[in-house]
Each structure stands twice: as structure tokens, then as C-alpha cells.
Amino acid sequence: MTETTFLAALRQLTEVVAHGGDITTTLQTLADGCRSLTGTRYVVIETHRQAELEHFFIHSGHIPTHLLVDDTLSIDIGVNEQSLGTLYLIDKQGSTQFAENDRHIAAVIADLTATALQNESLVIAERQESRISQQRMRQLTALSNATVAISSELSLDKVLQQIVDSARELIGARYAALGIPNVDGYLDAFVISGMHRDDVALIPHLPHGLGLLGVVTQSDQPIRIDNIAEDPRSVGFPLNHPPMKSFLGAPIVAGDRIIGRLYFTDKMDADAFSADDAELVMMFAAHASVALQNAKLYEQVEQLAVLDERTRIGMDLHDGIIQSIYAMGLVLESTKLVLPEGADEAQRLLDMAVNGLNDSIKDIRNFIMDLRPRRFRGDLALGLAQLVREFQANTLVPVELNINSADLASMSPVVAHAVYLTTQEALANIARHAKASQVEVEITSDSKHIVFSIRDDGRGFDINDNSRRIGHGLANMEARAEELGGRFVLRSTPGSGTIIIMRLPVHPAND
């Protein structure tokens, strides 16, 4: 081979490397060129697996069946003291050994191979960066769309649903939920996305904010878990709950307060949620925080207007309508006194009318009681007495209040608050639903626990009817007891009254 031909061949190989293209084709061209330039029967290019590059084994020619040590020449393929692979030349044609010129040509081919591998690494890195940039752009576009969507509503219920729906679509999760804690730390609202409402109805109870759901409240950072079942903080799933594997939880923060929690399970296009997903959901949570606070402010303004209207209506009902009905009842009572003897049927009808008016007064008083919410001031004895007085005044149902000041003195404030709220909800339920003639409220205690009970002799209900349990606030009562490390017992059957029992530690562990 003439020098001109030799240089032309090397220049052609250099142009192939510079042009790029498919890396396998480039390496094959280099192997073929090396075999041709050195007069070798068999050439191999073998590379190491790199972060971006796969392992390559490229060969040219036919491997001889019998080889001697002197028949093989190996040249390291490397750059900056990093080995990328090895170039093997096997069985020099017309000679038993490779010459120094062969070694020089092989070194040039090895350098070209190293350059080709470096170029391929750069191309792959550029493609990955481009994919990441495109994905980021899609995510930011989706984030912008989601932000616009949640900002377009003012109704709190609609905002909550829009937040969880938009977040699930943004992150690419099969299921998502949004939990809103109340002042006691329990989930006041739990909004779901990705499950049909018929499937939700089969689950016995909504989450209480324990387990992994509660962990999110303890940190202002997102939490990612690849497998829920393998995490020791998981408390499992209730009956009829769909199976879930991967988990991502993120708080919605306003200032130094956590005002909501976003939960995602089962990443749709991957086995687990990524750090990018966590970063994206925290960006979304910042926008959701603003939308949520705006909706709450809007709701508070409406509630203030409603409260003023309720106060006015309550005063009008008490001072106007009740007094008028009461006066009419007195007129009917007076009418009975002037009836002639033997007018039994008229007497019976007048009694029915008077009883009907009294029932109407009870109903209106119950309605007024619902219009006047009370807040716990810290003194449990005073608070319970006030609740009982208002209940008796509005329902005319006697209440036996059995409490001991010594039992109340040892009670922690958080337990006292729980007892007050439970009493308030239970008495409201009795007034609206029980048709009771007697109610008993009792608190007893020992050195470690207090036992609080409310019983009535009303019509009772089926405790297996989940809709009634949720509607009557019983789920909140049960959650309070569990949060304080206590027990909640509900006993009721249709026609046999209802009893609620809470056994709570005097000083809970989380107090």
C-alpha cells in the first residue's frame, strides 16, 4: 500500500468519526479499516460499559483456529488515563509478528475509536438533556394549566376537588387525595381523585390521618416511598380498599402552618415517584396554598354574612314566632275552660292542637340551638353545664349530669376539649334524631383513665349503617379517641336508645 493510499484511508476513517452517525457502524468501519491498513486477518474492538454507553464487541475478519502469543497485538482504547476498551489485532498476514508500524497504526485507530466513543457519549448526554428539558417544559405547562384551573374557583368544595384532580394529572398518579386537618389535627375533609364513588362507598371509613398519612404532617418536606407495604410506618388498608404500592406525600404550607396534605399512590408510567415528581408537587402545593386560603377567606366572608343572618333569624323566631305560638296555645287552653260539659270530641281536638303547638315550639328551639354554635372556653364543668342548660331549654328533655370536680381537675386540656366537643355533637344528635325523654351524661376516672358516657332512651339506630355514622359525626368522635390513645364504643339498636362511651388516658402521650 502506497503512502498516499495509506494517508487517504486514515483521512477517510477520521472523517467517518467526525461525521458521527450510528456508533456501531462507526466502530465496524474502524475495525475494518484497521484490518485493511495493518494486513491483519482478525480485528476486535471491545469496549467497557460506561454510564451512558453500552458494551460493544465489534469484530472484522475471521478468527484463526491456531494462534501463537506473537500473533496477537492489543492496544488500550483510552482518554485522559481512563480506559474505554481494547483494540485487538490477531494473526498478521505474511509474518509471524506485528511490526512497529502496525503498532503505530493500531494506536491511531485506538485514538479514533476513543474519539468516536466520546462523541457518542456527548450525543447521548445531549439527547438526555433535551428529553429532560422537554419533559420539564411539559411539566411547567401542566403546572401552569393546573394553577389556572384551581384559581378559577372560589367555592371551597370545588377548589378542593379541582386541586386534587389537577395534582393527580400533573404528577401522573393513579390515585390522589387531599386531606384538610381541623384545629384538633383530625382530617376534617378528605377529597379523592381516581376512584369511582361507588368504590369509595364500599370502604368502611375514611382515613383518620394516621400511619403514612400522618407522617406528612410532621415535616414540611415531601415523602417518597417505593413500596407502602414494606414501610414500617404503614398501618395497612381498610376493607375493600384498592391495593397501592408507590407513595408520594406532600404538605400544603401557609407560613409556618400545614393547611393541607396531598397524597399520591401508584405512579402510572414508572415503578415509583421520582425526586422530580416531589419537586413538581411542592411547586404545585405552593399555588394550591394560595387558592385554598383564598377559598377559605371567601367562605369565611360568606359565613359571617350567614352568621349575622342566623342571629337575626334566631331572634325573630324566639321573640316573634315562638311568642305568637305560645300565645295561641294559651288561647286554646282558655277555650277548653269554656267548653260545655259533654264536648269530649272538642276537648280532644283542642288537646291535639295544644300538643302540636308545643311540638312546634320544641322544633323551633332545636333549630335556634343549631343556629348558635358554642366554643370551649377551657372550663369543662362550666362548658358541660352550659351545653346541658341549652339542650334542656330547647328540647324540654331532662338531662342528668353526673360529674365530679376531682375527676375534672386531673384531666389534661386536650382531653377536656375532646369531651366537650363529643358532648356537643352527641346532644345535637339527640335533639335532632333521638326523640328521647331522658339523657344521662357521666364522667368517672381513676389515676390513669377517665370514662365519659352519654346515653339516651330514644329510638336508637342501626350502627352498621355507615351513612348514619358519618352523618352524625360519630366518625369524628372515634377519631378523637384513637388520636388520644383511647377507645370509643357505640351501642345502639332501633327502639332501644343509644350509648356513647369514651375511655381516654388522663394525660395522653401526645399531650
pLDDT higher than threshold 70 for residue 191: yes
The per-residue pLDDT of the chain, averaged, comes to: 81
Range with the poorest average pLDDT among 12-26, 73-87, 123-137, 390-404: 123-137
Highest average pLDDT, of 217-231, 252-266, 317-331, 486-500, comes from 486-500
Residue 471 has pLDDT above 50, yes or no: no
pLDDT at 33: 92
DSSP assigned state of 218: G
Distances (CA, A) of 243 to 190, 233, 239, 265, 417: 18, 17, 11, 10, 37
In this predicted structure, which of 144-158, 161-175, 319-333, 371-385 has the lowest mean pLDDT? Answer: 319-333
Closest CA to 252 of 213, 295, 282: 282
pLDDT of residue 362: 65
Query: Is residue 87's pLDDT more than 90?
Result: yes
Per-residue pLDDT reduced to its tens digit, 302-314: 766 666 666 666 6
Work out the average pLDDT over 170-180.
87
Higher pLDDT, 326 or 253: 253
Q: Which of 125-139, 280-294, 413-427 is predicted most confidently? A: 413-427
- pLDDT recorded at residue 391: 85
Residue 364, pLDDT > 80, answer no
Neighbours of 253 (CB within 10 A): 16
pLDDT score at 113:
92
| Residue of 354, 363, 310, 352 whose CA lies nearest to 330 | 354
Residue of higher predicted confidence among 202 and 262: 262
Higher pLDDT among residues 484 and 146, named by residue: 484
**Grid coordinates representing 312?**
337575626
- pLDDT of amino acid 210: 65
Q: What is the per-residue DSSP string for 87-122?
A: EEEEEETT-SS--HHHHHHHHHHHHHHHHHHHHHHH
Q: Which of 440, 419, 434 is nearest to 468 (CA)?
A: 434
Q: Is the pTM of this model over 0.85?
A: no
Distance CA 267, CA 21 (A): 36
| Domains with residue ranges and CATH for the chain | 3-126 (3.30.450.40), 148-299 (3.30.450.40), 375-511 (3.30.565.10)
Decide: 498 and 467 in contact? Cβ < 8 Å.
Answer: no
Q: Mean of the pLDDT values across residues 438-460?
A: 90
Packing angle, helices 3-19 and 23-38, rounded to 10 = 170
Residues of the chain with pLDDT > 90, as a percent, come to 18
- So what's the pLDDT on residue 26? 92
**How does 454-491 read in b/e, with b if 16+ C-beta sit within 10 Å?**
bbbbbbbbeeeebeebeebbbbbbbbbbebbebebebe
User: Would you call 291 exposed, middle or buried from its count of C-beta atoms within 10 A (0-12, 13-18, 19+)?
Assistant: buried
